[in-house]
């Protein structure tokens, strides 16, 4: 039994090593003066400096952020409305909507990317023909860019909003809403004063999920972006050059940012839990004193 436990501990360490070693190596090399990955020559920060002066990366970061916030906001609003609407549907209609919503989730990303690309290609030709006919001259429309990217990101974000908000809505006590109506709210007021506050945590987490999926997405953007570059696409074009130490510096920065965000969120979470626990203990103590 003891030996098994030791073995388990060793295994755990090996697996953590497997998960972190590549990232650790990337970060270590970001401080390497030599461009070659074979030798570590001298400690330097110059790759970070070059990264800060790299217009392609900075521009793509801006594009990624704009697309992420815009698509997450639109998807959250449309998806939340859909969750409310779907909640009032018959069982069969609801199942039909859910099945349609599962398609982008289950489909391999490359298929979603390719199918959207084909849609935009067909759309371009149709628009070109339309405008050519209208203007009587050969016009070619190329809509690939920020708008197609935005549409694609909204598309793969939407189901996650629905799946996040719908269960919360179903679990909600209908009587709270009805009580609001009895107390003189009209349905609209009851929705904004009673239902929406109940749903806020789910909506917020849906928004954050959309944000991370959108910033992280490469495959679907790759097929729908035309010549516009998001951050992952810029990273991809850099990896094609085989050796570019700026990627290492970028990885290091992203890792630190992610680490801070996650540790921060965790700390907030556990602080809230501790507060709740303390409140619960306090209640118990008071109840005990009264008894």
List the one residue out of 145, 278, 160, 283 whose CA is nearest residue 224: 145
Q: Which helix (H) or strand (E) covers residue 93, if one does?
A: helix 91-106
Asked if 100 touches another protein (CB under 8 A), the answer is yes
Asked if 135 touches another protein (CB under 8 A), the answer is no
- Closest distance of CB 289 from another protein, Å: 29
- Closest distance of CB 286 from another protein, Å: 26
Residue recorded with tokens 């904004």: 192
Q: Is 109 exposed, middle or buried (0-12, 13-18, 19+ CB in 10 A)?
A: middle
72, 211 contact by CB (below 8 A):
yes
Work out which of 61, 66, 70, 114 binds another protein, going by CB under 8 A. Answer: 114
Asked if 211 touches another protein (CB under 8 A), the answer is no
Tell me if residue 151 falls in helix, strand or coil: helix
Asked if 192 touches another protein (CB under 8 A), the answer is no
Q: Return phi, psi of residue 241, to 5°.
A: -85, 5
Nearer to another protein, 58 or 111 (CB): 111
Nearer to another protein, 69 or 123 (CB): 123
On the CB side of 124, CA atoms within 13 Å amount to: 16
152, 110 contact by CB (below 8 A):
no
Nearer to another protein, 122 or 285 (CB): 122
In order of 88, 256, 257, 265, the CA distances from 262 in angstroms are: 37, 10, 9, 5
* Of 46-54, 124-132, 187-195, 277-285: span binding another protein (CB under 8 A): 187-195
43, 31 contact by CB (below 8 A):
yes
- Closest distance of CB 265 from another protein, Å: 10
Work out which of 45, 130, 204, 254 binds another protein, going by CB under 8 A. Answer: 254
Q: Return phi, psi of residue 129, to 5°.
A: -60, -45
Residue recorded with tokens 């998001």: 230
- Closest distance of CB 72 from another protein, Å: 15
Asked if 19 touches another protein (CB under 8 A), the answer is yes
Interacting positions 24-43 with another protein (CB under 8 A): 25-26, 29, 36-38
Contacts with another protein by CB under 8 A: the residue count is: 88
- Closest distance of CB 168 from another protein, Å: 12
Work out which of 54, 60, 71, 101 binds another protein, going by CB under 8 A. Answer: 101
Asked if 48 touches another protein (CB under 8 A), the answer is no
Nearer to another protein, 131 or 222 (CB): 222
Work out which of 49, 53, 187, 201 binds another protein, going by CB under 8 A. Answer: 187
207, 72 contact by CB (below 8 A):
yes
d(CA 109, CA 223): 10
Asked if 97 touches another protein (CB under 8 A), the answer is yes
- Closest distance of CB 58 from another protein, Å: 17
Interacting positions 156-175 with another protein (CB under 8 A): 158-160, 162-163, 169, 172, 174
> What count of residues does the chain have?
291
| Tokens representing residue 98 in the block | 């859910």
Interacting positions 264-283 with another protein (CB under 8 A): 266
């Amino acid at each position: 039994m003891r030996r098994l436990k030791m073995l388990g501990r060793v295994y755990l360490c090996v697996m953590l090593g497997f998960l972190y070693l590549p990232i650790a190596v990337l970060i270590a090399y970001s401080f390497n003066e030599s461009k070659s990955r074979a030798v570590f020559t001298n400690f330097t920060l110059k790759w970070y400096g070059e990264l800060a002066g790299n217009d392609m990366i900075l521009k793509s970061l801006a594009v990624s952020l704009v697309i992420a916030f815009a698509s997450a906001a639109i998807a959250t609003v449309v998806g939340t409305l859909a969750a409310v609407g779907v909640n009032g549907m018959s069982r069969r209609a609801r199942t039909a909507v859910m099945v349609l919503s599962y398609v982008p989730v289950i489909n391999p990303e490359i298929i979603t990317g390719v199918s959207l690309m084909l849609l935009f290609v067909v759309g371009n030709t149709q628009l070109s023909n339309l405008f050519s006919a209208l203007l009587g001259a050969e016009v070619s429309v190329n809509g690939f860019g920020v708008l197609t990217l935005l549409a694609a990101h909204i598309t793969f974000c939407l189901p996650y909003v629905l799946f996040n908000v719908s269960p919360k809505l179903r679990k909600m006590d209908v009587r709270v809403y009805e009580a609001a109506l009895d107390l003189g709210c009209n349905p609209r007021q009851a929705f904004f004063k009673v239902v929406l506050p109940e749903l806020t945590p789910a909506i917020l987490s849906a928004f954050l999920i959309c944000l991370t999926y959108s910033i992280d997405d490469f495959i679907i953007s790759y097929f729908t972006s035309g010549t516009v570059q998001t951050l992952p696409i810029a990273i991809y074009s850099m990896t094609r050059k085989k050796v570019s130490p700026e990627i290492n510096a970028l990885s290091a920065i992203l890792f630190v940012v992610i680490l801070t965000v996650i540790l921060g969120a965790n700390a907030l979470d556990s602080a809230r839990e501790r507060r709740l626990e303390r409140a619960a203990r306090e209640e118990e103590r008071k109840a005990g004193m009264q008894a």
